[in-house]
Chain A
Amino acid sequence: MTGPLYLADAFSQGTSLWIAVGIGFLFGFVLERAGFGDARNLTDIFYFRDMRVLRVMFTALSTAMVGLVVLSWVGLFDYSVLLEYSLLKTYLWPQLVGGVLFGLGFVIGGYCPGTSAVGAVSGKLDAVIFLVGMIIGIWVFAAGFSIWGAFSTSSALGRLTLWQLFGTNKEVMAALIVVMALAAFALARLGEKWAPYGK
């Protein structure tokens, strides 16, 4: 059947919630097996001790990206549904600011939201504290929404992809990103040899 199945009404919302638990289970399982339940494995990338995060992230991103392109070629996935209904929307400046804040929080706190869940069930107290911090942070954001709410939805560019921005197609863009990922893997090895903070 041609995906995305849910947007073609292949199953009910109630069923989708069970699927959510199943998908989340696989997600959490793989994150743990990748080593992402420990803040040290997540932050070692920033000290060039272990570029595991880069390898896992870029491999996963490339796998899913190429997978979607191939599925759409063979008629198993309708990419236009994605572009019209479900692709994330771009808000340029707030997302840049959000990325800077998130990057700070990531290296200071040692986790990101998904990995802190895996850290918590691994017995890591720092992961639990990070989760508590995130809830407080979102309260702060909500409390000050009258101040920065307008900014947070500004520079709205709608559903915009890189290939549309660069005037090419998804196949060429995906190939470029895969080449970039391979280059990043090579650089990661050099980074680990460099190890400016020591091994």
Chain B
Amino acid sequence: MSKRDYAEGFWNPYVAGVALGLVLLLTFYLMGTGLGASGAVVRTSAVLAHAAVPGAVEQNDYYKSFYKPGAKNPLINWMVFQVAGVFLGGLVAVVTARRFRPGVGRGPTASVGLRLALALIGGVVAGVGTRFGMGCTSGQALSGGATMVVGSWVFMMAVFATAFLAAYFVRREWS
């Protein structure tokens, strides 16, 4: 299986799943809410935009609640701190497994330029998607899914159905 060497050396997926589930369970037990990620990206995007064009962001109907009078810095937030922890925990896991390798993950016949262009486009589309979906794989699919929320299951099914269908059209990126 040297063809897919990038898939080697990880935990058994069921073991990883139980571990992830226990982290999620602990989060619900402590906080009453689940895990998340996209919320931190939203707040980061607000702070970056505010640094460039403060007036426009304070007037923007989507961002303005972060900057109403008396509001704290948008980055002083549970989700932002939790995602800071994700970076930290991911880094420790990568370093202790000696897996830190600068590079670009792509299919064997895809060029770096193609892959990076599609990473940007995919990021933009996924970013918009998180706002209509009000979350991502962490907050909606995993956390909402585990608490059997209707909207989260709708979101999750739409994500995977779409991705399985769309995969055909970007197969050169990954195959």
Question: B-contacting residues of A (Cβ < 8 Å)?
Answer: 3-7, 16-35, 37-41, 43-44, 46-47, 49-50, 52, 55-65, 67-68, 71, 76-77, 81-82, 85-92, 94-127, 129-143, 145-146, 148-149, 151-152, 157, 159-163, 165, 170, 173-174, 177, 197-199
Q: Of residues 116 to 175 in B, which have CB atoms within 8 Å of A's CB atoms? A: 116, 118-164, 166-167, 170-171, 173-175
Report yes or no: A23 in contact with B23, Cβ–Cβ below 8 A: yes
Given contacts A4-B28, A40-B174, A61-B142, contact A49 B150 (CB under 8 A): no
> Which of chain A's residues has its CB closest to B141's CB?
A57
Report yes or no: B90 in contact with A133, Cβ–Cβ below 8 A: no
- 14 CB contacts below 8 A, A to B, read A4-B31, A6-B30, A23-B26, A33-B97, A60-B19, A64-B21, A68-B25, A105-B127, A109-B123, A112-B138, A130-B123, A133-B122, A134-B45, A140-B128
Name the B residues within 8 Å of A62 (CB-CB). Answer: 17, 21, 146
Name the A residues within 8 Å of B164 (CB-CB). Answer: 46
- CA–CA, A47 and B175, complex, Å: 9
Given contacts A33-B11, A126-B116, contact A21 B82 (CB under 8 A): yes
Name the A residues within 8 Å of B156 (CB-CB). Answer: 99
Report yes or no: A30 in contact with B19, Cβ–Cβ below 8 A: yes
Q: Of residues 88 to 124 in B, which have CB atoms within 8 Å of A's CB atoms? A: 88-94, 97, 99-107, 115-116, 118-124
Report yes or no: B146 in contact with A138, Cβ–Cβ below 8 A: no
- Residue of A60, A71, A81 near B32 (CB, 8 A) is A81
- Residue of B19, B24, B101, B121 near A133 (CB, 8 A) is B121
Measured between C-beta atoms, what is the minimum distance from A133 to chain B in Å?
2
- CA–CA, A198 and B104, complex, Å: 22
Report yes or no: B149 in contact with A125, Cβ–Cβ below 8 A: no
- Residue of A39, A121, A137, A198 near B91 (CB, 8 A) is A121
Name the B residues within 8 Å of A39 (CB-CB). Answer: 105-106, 119
Report yes or no: A123 in contact with B102, Cβ–Cβ below 8 A: yes
Which of A26, A87, A114, A173: most chain B Cβ within 10 A?
Answer: A114
Name the B residues within 8 Å of A89 (CB-CB). Answer: 134, 151
- CA–CA, A104 and B129, complex, Å: 9
Report yes or no: B124 in contact with A32, Cβ–Cβ below 8 A: no
Name the A residues within 8 Å of B138 (CB-CB). Answer: 27, 112-114
- CA–CA, A157 and B115, complex, Å: 39
- CA–CA, A129 and B21, complex, Å: 29
> Which of chain B's residues has its CB closest to A77's CB?
B29
Report yes or no: A55 in contact with B85, Cβ–Cβ below 8 A: no
Is B70 at the interface (CB under 8 A from chain A)? Answer: no
Which of B16, B141, B150, B162: most chain A Cβ within 10 A?
Answer: B150
Report yes or no: B174 in contact with A98, Cβ–Cβ below 8 A: no
Report yes or no: A129 in contact with B116, Cβ–Cβ below 8 A: yes
Measured between C-beta atoms, what is the minimum distance from B7 to chain A in Å?
6
- CA–CA, A112 and B167, complex, Å: 15
Report yes or no: B24 in contact with A123, Cβ–Cβ below 8 A: no
Name the A residues within 8 Å of B158 (CB-CB). Answer: 95-100, 102-103
Report yes or no: B119 in contact with A88, Cβ–Cβ below 8 A: no
Report yes or no: A5 in contact with B30, Cβ–Cβ below 8 A: yes
Given contacts A64-B25, A105-B125, A136-B127, contact A19 B31 (CB under 8 A): yes
Report yes or no: A113 in contact with B82, Cβ–Cβ below 8 A: no
Report yes or no: B22 in contact with A63, Cβ–Cβ below 8 A: yes
- CA–CA, A188 and B48, complex, Å: 42
- CA–CA, A95 and B35, complex, Å: 18
- CA–CA, A107 and B132, complex, Å: 18
